[in-house]
A and B are shown apart, each in its own frame.
Chain A
Amino acid sequence: MRRLLAGLAAGTVLAAVPACGSSSGSSEPEDKGSGGVTTVKVGIIPIVDVAPLYLGEKKGFFKERGLKLSLSPAQGGAAIVPGVVSGQFQFGFSNVTSLMVAQSNGVPVKAVVNGASSSGVEGEDFGGLMVKKGSPIKTPKELEGRRVAVNTLKNINELAVRNSVRQDGGDPDEVELVELAFDQMPAALEDGQVDAAMVVEPALATIKAQGGTEIASPLVDIADKLTVAMYFTSEKYAQQNPELVKRFQEATAESLAHADAHPDEVREIVTTYTKIPEATLEQVTLPKWPAQANRSSIMDLLKLGHEDGLFKRSPDLDALLP
């Protein structure tokens, strides 16, 4: 017994040492690797939208500019924004509304390059307001008094749904919005727990496969070719490494353009970091990836945010956007 316990104790001490030892250094922003290549850590959400980064890394667009991407999948912006601000990640992926809310709350974020945009085509976007097969609801206005699922309350999808209802002549305050993760929406819709769901790919393709109907494309309703998400860094990192940020911008812009022009390559690379079943992936509507963010669409989004009381203080778009 004594030996066993001594062994356990020794093992724990040994095991604890590397755990403490590894805590130094990794948060330093400028890790110059071998051959003058800088590794940058990017906090991403493992969804279709970030495919251009995976593709650009594979195609060597980042390597050409002396960058090596280390893509860290995280579960949503709640983990990415603090990670970027504290320097764990050099860059992060976030929807634009979250960035505006963060900035208006005094969180020092700085958007650097476009992330993903809506297609701008009604009924052919990567996000849609869906009702189940055979539902009597045909228009957003009819959602008054009904229950609608959005992934996060007080964020871009809530703004979008309320805007679509308003544009259709309805009163958005009469719509009961409930929070539900995208992946749970198909089941909730099918089961009748919600009457409609504001859903994005690949759950959108799942609902369509079940015979669900799209009654609006809320992201399209906000603005033509709405910039939905962007890559961002912290203000401090942008000030200290302007040259590196510029290289990241250029490489990402090239990756976005490449992804936009080669949807087949996108569908292929998506299988390397998600588990979207093949049959679903074929049906998935890809976002648009213009190299430049659409500033006027972001101003429309800002206006909606003000209307729905999202901001305590007005976000400063000149400071936020590249």
Chain B
Amino acid sequence: MKDAHLDGAPPERARGGRPELTNAALGAAGLAGFLALCEAVPRLGIVSAEYFPPVSRIADALVGELGDGAFWTALGDTLTGWALGLAIAVTAGVLAGVVISVVPYLREATASTIEFLRPIPSVALIPLAVLLYGTELRSVLLLVVYASFWQVLLQTLYGVRDVDPVAEETARSYGLGTWARVRHVLWPTALPYVMTGVRLAAAVALILAVTAELVIGAPGLGARIAVAQTSQAVPEMYALVVVTGVLGLLINVGARTVERRALAWHQSVRGEVAV
């Protein structure tokens, strides 16, 4: 199931004439092998087919899901929670990161608080979310935003710290104001870090959206998984789990595309493209 593009490793250039084709073929072969294994394990009786159905039965159930309107509503609910949560987290994370970095002494004053709040697992806030918002979308948002905010904030902080002092001093001596320096010196330096933060946050946001639905019961794919679980509908449950996996894959690919486009000017990306 491994694909060099998703792993963060740069595409291998040296091997063979058409590395992308080789990679795609290898990826497909790996996936086929994995599916064959999942089909074989229950069929051979290594695990009970009752509780881990073969791939073919899961595929059947998946087709059934895809033909059900309620499934698409649930998918929409999950994606709404993910997208809204991510958008809020990214906006808040970048703004907070820049402000904390630019205002003197603020970074020192907030460092310990951030380090205290950051490791708190979002899932531990479920009782709070339910108390405040019941089982609605807003409970999901609370958890999603809490988990993904720190990813963006920390990356922004690191990014700003990376600003070249010479460039900063040069900008100062040319009389650039605070806003202009943020815009022309700080932001281009921080952007690659920020984009990494966004990509990490996108994955975390999906995990938390599904988890929140699963545990709280807010409408979405997670709640549908929970209903399938309590209903003893095992193939349907795995079919929905597969959907969340595919969703994660697509989100990762999408985030990488956005990252690559936003950083097209940056040497890390330019180097990759110039094969």
Contact = CB atoms under 8 A, between A and B. Distances in A.
Interface of A: 1, 4-5, 8-9, 11-13, 15-16, 19, 22-23, 26-27, 41, 43, 45-47, 72-75, 78-79, 82-83, 86, 88-89, 181-183, 186-187, 190-191, 202-203, 205-206, 210, 273-277, 280
B132 A86 contact: yes
Contact of A202 (B48, B132, B232): B232
A182 B87 CA distance: 37
A75 B126 CA distance: 12
The 6 A-B residue pairs with the shortest CB-CB distance in the complex, in nearest-first order: A88-B134, A74-B217, A12-B87, A275-B233, A275-B231, A75-B217
Given A43-B134, A82-B127, A86-B131, 10 more contacts: A12-B87, A26-B136, A73-B217, A74-B217, A78-B127, A78-B130, A83-B135, A86-B134, A190-B48, A277-B231
Contacts of A22: 138
30 contacts: A1-B264, A8-B90, A8-B258, A12-B90, A16-B84, A16-B88, A19-B88, A23-B133, A45-B230, A46-B226, A73-B135, A73-B217, A73-B223, A75-B223, A79-B217, A82-B127, A83-B131, A83-B134, A86-B131, A86-B134, A88-B130, A88-B134, A89-B134, A181-B229, A186-B232, A187-B48, A187-B50, A187-B51, A202-B232, A276-B232
Interface string B113-131: 0000000000000110011
B74 to A, nearest CB: 12
Contacts of B263: 1
A88 B126 CA distance: 15
Nearest to A74: B217
A277 B234 CA distance: 9
Contact of B87 (A15, A79, A82): A15
B131 A19 contact: no
B242 to A, nearest CB: 16
B34 interface: no
Contact of A79 (B130, B231, B261): B130
B87 to A, nearest CB: 4
A182 B265 contact: no
Nearest to B229: A183
B134 A72 contact: yes
Interface in B85-115: 87-88, 90-91
Interface of B: 48, 50-51, 83-84, 87-88, 90-91, 126-127, 130-136, 138, 141, 214-217, 223, 226-233, 236, 258, 261-265
A5 B233 CA distance: 44
B8 to A, nearest CB: 21
Contacts of A186: 50-51, 232
Nearest to A202: B232
The DSSP consensus for interface residues of chain B is helix
A274 B227 contact: yes
B134 A75 contact: no
A277 B48 contact: no
A19 B216 contact: no
Contacts of A88: 130, 133-136
Output the residue of B48, B130, B131 with the most chain A CB within 10 A.
B130
B55 to A, nearest CB: 19
Contact of B261 (A4, A86, A203, A206): A4
B226 A15 contact: no
A150 to B, nearest CB: 16
A206 B229 CA distance: 13
Output the residue of A23, A45, A190, A275 with the most chain B CB within 10 A.
A275
Contact of A43 (B84, B132, B135, B233): B135
Output the residue of B88, B90, B141 with the most chain A CB within 10 A.
B88
A1 B269 CA distance: 13
Nearest to A72: B135
Contacts of B226: 46, 75
A280 B232 contact: yes
Given A12-B90, A83-B135, A75 B216 contact: yes
Contacts of A43: 134-135
Nearest to B265: A1
A202 B214 contact: no
A284 B83 CA distance: 40
B30 to A, nearest CB: 29
B209 to A, nearest CB: 14
A22 B191 CA distance: 32
Contacts of B262: 1, 4-5
Nearest to B127: A82
Given A1-B264, A75-B214, A75-B216, A82 B90 contact: no
A26 B263 CA distance: 42
Contacts of A5: 262
